[in-house]
Structure 1
Amino acid sequence: MRIVVKVGTSTLAHATGRLNIRHVEQLVKVLSDLKNAGHEMILVSSGAIGMGVGKLNLPGRPGDMPTKQAAAAVGQCELMYTYDKLFSEYNHTVAQILLTGEDVDHADRRRNFENTMSRLLELGALPIINENDTIATEEIKVGDNDTLGAIVACSAKADLLVLLSDIEGLYTADPRRDPGARLIPVVEEITQEILALAGEKGSDLATGGMATKLRAAQMATARGCDMVITNGEHPEVLYDIAQGKAVGTRFVAKK
């Protein structure tokens, strides 16, 4: 299978913005093992701004664009250095692709991106994709990596998109506030009732939320790609997901 895994800032970093070493090392180990098993893996990774916040010792996620871009420039270096070092330990070569909204909205640029990604997979590399937050402005940014994950999955004609988040999946209500909330294991169709279940975003360093995940599910399933939302606390759940086992919430693709 061709699998796109999107990992959020809440999985990669502690609340301080500093790297969650245990999570990242385990994620890389599992992705490497799935690649060894014959799957084509693509990683969409958040975390540049969050890691830049930690590295620059800022008090929190910046509100102004120049500081966000500065934090992204610092954090992206740290992020890719870490991935390159860890994946190399398992004899896998990584490649960095940074995108803005213009790169996917413009037909020629999107085709160039798709061709590059296709060739990287043919060469056995593992593409690591993030928004180019260092130059992205409000006018040209994709906005969140859930949407970016869906765009990448559609562009790569992936079989499966997995969003690793800080929540187990889609619930009947917000489980942080309602102890009676139940996990919805399978969504066959994204109805207005399903869309109405979206709550607020999670951590302070994150940019997404359930609303962006449901939009990503709409995009992916419309293009024939299943999507799973699950908790990134234990990356080894990717083994079960790749085998089609019930983990988190699976959105079934339209055939």
Structure 2
Amino acid sequence: MRSFSNELKTVVVKIGSSSITHDNGIINLQKIDELAWELSNLKNHGINVILVSSGAIAAGAKKLNLVSRPRDTVGKQAASAVGQVALMNTYNRAFHEFGYEAAQILLTKQIETDLMMRENSKNTFEKLLEMNVIPVVNENDTISTFEIEFGDNDTLSAVVSRIVNADLLILLSDINGLYDDDPRENPDAKLICEVVEINEELEKMAKDSNSSVGTGGMATKINAARMCMEKGIDVVIANSEELKNIRKIVEGEEIGTIFKARA
């Protein structure tokens, strides 16, 4: 069984676009319902939960009947503005089914460097958690393009984790964890179960994402892990295909790759 650096009181879960949409870009309602069940069940066990969710651009592109996901930044911003409404409506319905309310929080990466923004967001998170609400976070794509261009919310989830002093960040992806080589190209690639230090050799193992829906590759996940580890927050990268992995991870099962926080 796996042990964590801290008692799990607050858990941040990040899920990528490809994990909650079908191949055609439409929101996968079954996945949303399963995710809502898992997070609501954590709440039932007394664990504070924050969800960082991508998917707005993909959902918006489909709503706008676009042939494919926009490639230009302003096109992505427009698609996100439309898709965010559909995405939050779906999350709100799903969480309500299990007795919880969802709150939409749109942030920019600048919350970590702007002291007033940071304090305001921290206070809002704390109040929502106190009110037993599940915050659903995404980047404010209409005014910020950092995550659009660089990370599919991996970086933002690390920023949120640092602000709320989370005990664990779970990064759900379409891969089982960090491998010593790309498992899609090398069948002999081995899963690395635990990382205690991020060095140059480990960074070379990261590969860019090949997903047409998401933008975040392993490199952004490793960077997110580094940001959390230095603040005493454990990070687990795991496959989103089986969302019951969330509860298994919290229960200490050795799933995915854990990046252990520094003491």
TM, length-normalised to structure 1: 0.96
Q: Which residue of 2 aligns with 1:73?
A: 81
Residues 135-150 of structure 1 mapped to structure 2, 5 A cutoff: 135-137=143-145, 143-150=151-158
- Of 59-68 and 112-121, the range deviating more from structure 2: 59-68
| C-alpha displacement of 1:143 | 4.7
Match of 2:249 in 1: 241
The one-letter amino acid of 1:220's match is C
Identity value in percent: 48
What do the CA deviations read for 1:84-117 (whole angstroms, capped 9, x no partner)? 0010011101111101233332111111111111
Query: What whole-Å deviation, never above 9, does each CA across 1:173-231 have from its counterpart, x for those lacking one?
Result: 00000011011111111111111100111311111000000000000111001000001
Aligned residue pair count: 255
- In structure 2, which of residues 87, 112, 118 is the aligned counterpart of residue 104 of structure 1? 112
Following superposition, the deviation at residue 66 of structure 1 comes to: 2.4
1:123 to 122, 131, 141: 131
Distance 2:35 2:219 in 1: 25
Q: What is the DSSP-based 3-state SS (H/G/I as helix, E as strand, rest coil) of the residue aligned with 2:27?
A: coil
Deviations 1:133-187 (A, max 9, x none): 1222459987531101111111110010000000000001000000110111111
Contact 2:105 2:135 in 1 (8 A): yes
For 1:33-112, what aligned pairs fall within 5 Å after superposition? 33-112=41-120
Q: Distance in 2 between the 1:61 and 1:214 partners?
A: 25
Which of 193, 205, 212 aligns to 1:197? It is: 205
RMSD (Å) for aligned C-alpha atoms: 1.6
Q: Secondary structure at the match of 1:26?
A: helix
Deviations 1:13-66 (A, max 9, x none): 112110112211111111111111111000000000011111112111112222
User: C-alpha distance in 1, partners of 2:244/2:257?
Assistant: 16
**144, 149, 163: which is aligned to 2:171?**
163
Which residue among 15, 18, 22 is the counterpart of 1:7?
15
Counterpart contact for 2:177–2:256, Cα < 8 Å: yes
User: Relative to 1, partners in 2 of residues 1:73 and 1:176: Cα closer, same or farther, differing over 3 Å?
Assistant: same
Question: Is the CA contact (8 Å cut-off) linking 1:101 and 1:140 kept in structure 2?
Answer: no
Is residue 102–residue 141 contact of structure 1 (8 Å, CA) maintained in 2? no
Shift of 1:243: 1.3
CA contact (8 A) 1:7 1:163 kept: yes
2:97 maps to amino acid: E
TM-aligned CA distance change 1:139 to 1:75, over 3 Å: closer
Give the secondary structure class of the aligned counterpart of 2:237.
strand
In the alignment, structure 1 segments of 5+ residues that lack a partner are: none
Could you list the runs of 4 or more consecutive aligned residues of structure 1 that deviate by over 4 angstroms after TM superposition? Answer: 138-143
Q: Decide whether aligned partners of structure 1 residues 36 and 86 sit closer, same or farther in structure 2, where only a CA change above 3 A counts.
A: same
